[in-house]
Structure 1
Amino acid sequence: MTDYSVLLPCVPRRLEQALPFAGLVRWTGAARLWQGQAMVMEPHQTFTGMAGAGFRVPTGFGVTLMPLRHPYEAALQARSVALATGEPVIAGFGPGSPAFQANILGAPYARPLQVAREYVTAVRGLLDGETVEATGPHYTFRGQLAPAAAPRVDVGLGVLRPGMARLAGEVADVVITWLTPPSYLRDVLLPAVAEGAARAGRTSLPRVVAMVPTGLEADGREGASPERLAVAGNAAHMQAPHYLDMLGRAGVDVSSGQLADVARGVVETGAFVGGDLAQVVKGLRAYEEAGVDEIVLNTTAVHKLFGSRDSLSDLSSILQAVTAP
């Protein structure tokens, strides 16, 4: 059975902006509260703060960016959230864009898949209580986390293309996708994950988590077509070279370079799930049928255009529809 979870649809500047979404997870059938990389209030601190306010829920980071923290700190931060919440954590990581890598590190990763392999392997070992002796070429250190009984922390990789999917199949606990059409997941990414797992001799596949942008048609939202919502929530992604490459592989016509054309293709391929409630449920079921284990409802566009109340309303309606017996 596929789980449904919630993405925090804003970058909070005050903790109380995030609490209603933690409450939604706590009081509905949602499995987990997720947040991507944020550059205002750091996500680990947000989740720990929510726990201190009494909202202790399972959490996921989808994804935090590897250039920002050493693998040892990444493992320590993830386990700290598990200790603070008393709930399991999915710690997802990704290399970010080459431009971001260059801005933070001085140069982009020459071999991002190799860096990701070293990073995830080190973090997993640390979380397993091992003394990790990393010998590079990208990370050279020796360390062990101080022993502590904490809920499980799974380690995930952000996946857009087959190379990273194969690597995730080898070394990750969780595969995390964003803006990936269900047919592309089914036909391209999941076979690559299985190939990587077989190459590593793994007897079980990583769990697959899909972040799915969505929004309902509703009264008072004049002009909020699925295409407009897709742009409002994902404009930066739909202009980034690595996302355009993925979308092109998934059947979206990105040749014009026009954001409106890309948004139309994103809607047509089901990477953005919009319409009335029945249409949204149908679009989400396509991800279930593709083999996704956890669908994360991303209402960032609704929140940006219409506010927190509308975002919470959409999430409540969709969760009720997809998790009802």
Structure 2
Amino acid sequence: MTTSVQLPFVPRKVEQVVPFAALVENGPAQRLWQGHSMVVDALHGFAAAAGAGFRVPTGLGVGLLPFRHPLDAAHQVRSLALATGQPVVAGFGPAAPQTQAALRGEPYRSPLTACREYVEIVRGLLAGEHVERAGEYFTCDAQMVEVPAPPVEVGLGVLRAGMARLAGEVADVAITWLTPPDYLRDVLVPALTEGAAAAGRPAPRVVAIVPVALGRDSHGPVDVLLAGNGPHLQAAHYADMLRRAGVAHDPSDLPLTARRVVESGVLLHGDVEDVAAGVARYRDAGVDEVVLNTTGVCRLVGARDALADCRALVDALA
């Protein structure tokens, strides 16, 4: 299993990406990740860091389907691979129904169908194919200019068994967020395996983006989880995933819900040994790459402390 780092904030200046890219380049971390951004686009920030001399493997976890046509998505992620000279993981997800409706006029009737069409088009284009597809949600009749480039893995954001089975069929990587390790072991990984077997292909790699924090007297683990993932805990698709994972979700009491999520093993906190033990539980659940997410630390005490936590944990887990 490898260890990677999540950029713990949405950058407003590309220079803010550089210290975390330098951490990856100069240490044992595998990759630098960022989620969808409405300020500095994640792909632009990664490219800017490469221009500053820090060319590192990167991961998008995850870009949202309604914002980019799959041809543009394929072009953008391959362009990033060319700009950095490093492998890229391009993860995608359908977005919340409200976002889908805001950009499309209505939500996807079937998010699974939308994701299948999108990933198959992107993978075909990246493989050099002339993709001709008139789908329910995405149409493409195009081929990208052939040029040698570092590899791009195409991933899907996975929270529930249906998306996990689809990822097993069509994706290179399954990317999870806020998923308890037992739920990964008992539900998501078996569904990935089932989908891959049905398609006659190897199961995709599993990436878990996991909130982490080294112990501090000023803030407890519930504070850290709420600071880093409060909006996720209020979103319907995360609430449904947590209920399926056996975590009682109370929309009227977010601190109580956060405490229950912490108790499920999602937030890794304490000293270095405590966090390492939590990472081992994800490894034992079938995870191939754990991404250390210090967003809660960053929001509570600042980016410098978040970077220091990442550095200490990456070194200890190497």
TM-score band w.r.t. shorter chain: over 0.9
Match of 1:278 among 225, 250, 273: 273
Over 3 Å counting, the alpha-carbon distance change for 1:303 and 1:255 in structure 2 is closer
* Residue in 1 that maps onto 2:189: 190
Over 3 Å counting, the alpha-carbon distance change for 1:20 and 1:77 in structure 2 is same
Within 5 Å, which residues of 2 pair with 1:61-76? 61-76=60-75
* Residue in 2 that maps onto 1:264: 259
Task: With the length of structure 2 as denominator, give the TM-score of the two structures.
Answer: 0.99
Over 3 Å counting, the alpha-carbon distance change for 1:141 and 1:241 in structure 2 is same
Within 5 Å, which residues of 2 pair with 1:103-182? 103-182=102-181
Shift of 1:141: 2.2
Shift of 1:164: 0.2
Paired residue secondary structure (1:41) = coil
* Residue in 1 that maps onto 2:230: 235
What percentage of residue pairs aligned between the two structures are identical?
Answer: 56
Shift of 1:15: 1.1
Q: 2-side partners of 1:136 and 1:319: how far apart?
A: 43
Task: For 1:209, give the aligned amino acid.
Answer: V
Check conservation: 2:234, 2:251, Cα contact below 8 A: no
Structure 1 position 30 matched with structure 2 position 25: no
Give per-residue Cα distances to partners, 1:104-123, cap 9 Å, x unaligned. Answer: 11110011100100000000
Task: For 1:156, give the aligned amino acid.
Answer: G
Structure 1 position 16 matched with structure 2 position 2: no
Give per-residue Cα distances to partners, 1:287-321, cap 9 Å, x unaligned. Answer: 01111000000000111111111011101111111
Shift of 1:256: 5.3
Give per-residue Cα distances to partners, 1:174-229, cap 9 Å, x unaligned. Answer: 00000000000000000000010111111x110000000010113xx41x101110
Check conservation: 1:253, 1:261, Cα contact below 8 A: no
Check conservation: 1:176, 1:208, Cα contact below 8 A: yes
Aligned residues: 318
Task: For 2:74, give the aligned amino acid.
Answer: A
Check conservation: 2:121, 2:140, Cα contact below 8 A: no
Match of 1:301 among 275, 296, 304: 296
Task: For 1:71, give the aligned amino acid.
Answer: P
Q: 2-side partners of 1:205 and 1:165: how far apart?
A: 10
Paired residue secondary structure (1:96) = coil
> Which stretches of structure 1, 4 residues or longer, exceed 2 Å deviation after superposition?
none
Check conservation: 1:61, 1:92, Cα contact below 8 A: yes
Q: 2-side partners of 1:256 and 1:8: how far apart?
A: 28
Task: For 2:204, give the aligned amino acid.
Answer: P
Task: For 2:142, give the aligned amino acid.
Answer: G
Paired residue secondary structure (2:308) = helix
